[in-house]
Amino acid sequence: MNIIKRLSALLLAAVIAASVLTACSGGADINIDRPLGTETFVATADQPLRRAVSPEQPMWIVHIDSWVNADPEKLIEAVPEDIRPYVVFNISMSISWNEDEQRFTLVEDGYELAKSWLRACAEKGVWTMVQPASGGPCHFPDYDPAEIDYDDTLFGEFFRDYPNFLGFNYAEQFWGFDNYVKGFPVTAEQRYIHFAGLLELCHKYGGYLVDSWCGNQWGQSINPLAMIKRIPEFEEAARLYSDNFILLEKYTQTGYQSDMESLVLGTYLSGYCGNFGIRYDDSGWTDESGEGTGGYVVATGLTINFERFALNGMTVIDGPELTWVDDILETNPEVDKKGYSIRKWEPTAQFTNVMVDMFRKVVNGDFRIPTREEVIARTRLILVNDVETGKDDDKYCTPKDFFDGVYKMENDGYLQDNHSFYKSSGRYPTLPTTAGFADKKYEDLFEKIIYKSEYNDLWPTIEDKMADLDEMFEEQYTGDAYAGRYENTWVTYNPYKRNQTASSTIKLKYNTAESIGVSYPRYSTGLIREYSDHIDLYLNNFNEDSPVQYKDDVITINGASEQPTYELTDRGTGTMQPKVTEEWSNGVYTLTVSHNGPVDVTISCSGSATGKLTDYTDAALTPPDYPPIYVGQLQHEGELFDTLNAEQIIKNGANGNVRNYLGQGYLLMGMYKGTAARDSVIIYQPGTYMLTLRYRAGGGNVNVYVNGKKVGNLEMNDTDGAWDITALNVKLKEGENTVEFRIDEDLPSKMYIDCFTLDLI
């Protein structure tokens, strides 16, 4: 290759990477007609949050996961347009490490993959974060903020170079430390000191650090409460930059379930994180015996998600975790009229009918997420773990019997042996636990503060505790189905992991009828919203393992003045048509909904009761701002191209013989005439671009076509088994452009394509 061309390409890439970026307002879908903004994006210190997260602007983190050899653009397109503005896409570089060879075997170069996929997400105009770690093993280094300026690291680089970049997502921060995995000697303490530096950097650039924590038998001394107590650098950063810290409950281990919820909620309510959420997957699920994973379906997570959203003020969901089972999966390729093979992606039935539909209820404002202050007012009390001696469970966890009599399920165990996140009662709010308070303003909001060192003196017996709690929290329903309320919204569900019906009768607070009864089979969750003359219900029981099996949710209205009426909306996609029967007898209205999937039901009903509540607040969601338009280097990976007569797509090259590719794989084009590959690019600024192809070949040339017209050819060197680059200038229009590489004459040997990049000249 001409050395001048090579130097020009490299120099231009560096210039573009450091250039300022033009900002604009716009939509999640690519809207080329929208005008460019007049302001210029510049990454500066103490920026406001790039993308606010709040009860009015909740966040769903959807994974672009290396485990499924993802095509970022196609996964983005698979998320429905109506909820996409609220979605942040997570570049998930899950850890797969070969200790013998001391190398990653899923993503070989996390830095290069993150840049490539970040650029793809920027081209699609969506917010994006990067997940470099699962447990202690991490694709990116850990630093000490006392020894390094984070601006001079890749962490600062990502914030400066990518206006759609929102921050770093560290998953499963409970395992893999202290040489547990050979090659990753970082300790948990070092990781949390590193978090302190990241929080300061995130504050500087308006981004977020997401930390998902999972209670487990090995590491209570490294849970979030412990780190606030033990690591002063982290305590200070979480206190000063709490708006940039998102703490998640992570369902990977099967113990400490209620303890984990308590610690995460307590960290939020005491001001040490600005938002909290859930990252749910089946490895944290157990069957009714507390062992194994039998009976898991994605809908089992509806219970905790709705409870956290509607009652506890959660604003973030992350996942599902098992993307290769429950999210957006690659299907058989499609062949178009020109013979091109096109990789295709489709969401699973459970992703659509559980996760998407649940989040659609959130962003449509069908119920409201309460503020932190409202949750504190509802919770009323908090426990401060001030114990400094004893075992880790003593110093860093909730009291052993904290949840006894309150909402611990019958026959469930304590702490490590607490296997169920379901609750036997919704009368009482979640009992939060904290290490202290980030600010006295939070401390002053609580009606009752309990110190763990005084816990046994305050409540010598469970009966003493329950006497106090029963005085604080009124009984609002009877039965064994869970029912928890905030204002006019109830979260209800069947709390059993076995095939057993749960039923409850709930005193209506807003509707003038007397009560509503619910009877649910296993897996059913109901979101209920009361009004004076009608009741809205959302029912979801989707079972991907038995998609053609009807289950009956039974709703009863007691004390209506006349026979109620109903309207039902089937929200399911590819599900069976719901069946409904109704009965009116002796003043009791019974509605039986037979379904497998999500439905909305409105029951028009009223009675003669007086003194009902009337004050509630409707949700008022505001779609978040979209990222500024990115005009830096674009990058398209060969393994994601459409292909014609190509020899092989290597979706993941980690186990092959070719090294130093930039994405997750590459394309083996072959060598014969009639072979071609193409991809489409979205251009916001029309003009001349330098197209640089990264390839391996034995010489020859490949012709380049833009939007169906030949624009030149790329001369290739004999690279002797290494990667090289070749470039030419092309003109691209605003909007979508097709870039195509064709072998129009046989090559002397096989050609490989790693990727191509585009830089505006």
- Cβ neighbourhood burial of 265 (10 Å; 0-12, 13-18, 19+): buried
pLDDT of residue 218: 79
In the chain, what is the greatest distance between 2 CA atoms, to the nearest angstrom? Answer: 91
What's the token pair of residue 259? 């303890």
Pair 364, 254 in one domain: yes
Closest CA to 52 of 617, 630, 627: 627
pLDDT of residue 322: 86
Could you tell me the residue range of the domain that residue 723 belongs to? 634-760
**Residue 1, SS3?**
coil
Pair 189, 326 in one domain: yes
The answer to whether position 35 is within a domain reads no
Q: How many angstroms separate the CA atoms of 146 and 203, rounded?
A: 17
Please identify, among 472, 499, 533, the residue that sits at the C-terminal boundary of a domain.
472
The answer to whether position 29 is within a domain reads no
Pair 261, 350 in one domain: yes
What's the token pair of residue 103? 């190398």
Pair 468, 492 in one domain: no
Q: What is the amino acid identity at position 492?
A: T
CATH number of the CATH domain containing 139: 3.20.20.80
Pair 190, 304 in one domain: yes
Pair 140, 97 in one domain: yes
Q: How many angstroms separate the CA atoms of 750 and 761, rounded?
A: 31
What's the token pair of residue 609? 């009761």
Query: Using an 8 Å Cβ cutoff, are 202 and 165 in contact?
Result: no
Please identify, among 444, 472, 500, the residue that sits at the C-terminal boundary of a domain.
472
pLDDT of residue 102: 86
Pair 641, 746 in one domain: yes
pLDDT of residue 37: 31
DSSP state of 510: S
Exposure pattern of 52-83 as b/e (b: 16+ CB <10 Å)? bbbbbbbbbbbbbbbbbbbbbbbbbbbbeeeb
Pair 164, 270 in one domain: yes
Pair 492, 461 in one domain: no
pLDDT of residue 115: 98
- Cβ neighbourhood burial of 626 (10 Å; 0-12, 13-18, 19+): buried
CATH number of the CATH domain containing 578: 2.60.220.10
Please identify, among 377, 406, 426, the residue that sits at the C-terminal boundary of a domain.
377
Full-model pTM: 0.93
pLDDT of residue 628: 96
The answer to whether position 27 is within a domain reads no
pLDDT of residue 380: 98
CA 105 to chain centre: 24
pLDDT of residue 230: 97
CATH number of the CATH domain containing 685: 2.60.120.260
Those residues whose C-beta lies under 8 Å from the C-beta of residue 483, and which sit 6 or more positions away, are 426, 476, 477, 490, 491, 492, 504, 506, 518
As beta bridge partners, residue 85 has none
Pair 451, 487 in one domain: no
The answer to whether position 624 is within a domain reads no
Q: Within 13 Å of residue 574, how many CA atoms lie on the same side as its CB?
A: 11
Pair 371, 390 in one domain: no
Pair 102, 124 in one domain: yes
Strand stretches in 562-663, DSSP E: 565-570, 579-585, 588-595, 598-604, 634-637, 642-644, 648-650
The answer to whether position 564 is within a domain reads yes
Q: Within 13 Å of residue 321, how many CA atoms lie on the same side as its CB?
A: 21
Number of domains in the chain: 4
DSSP state of 82: T
Residues of the chain where predicted confidence (pLDDT) is lower than 70: 1-46
What's the token pair of residue 400? 């052993």
The answer to whether position 623 is within a domain reads no
**Residue 595, SS3?**
strand
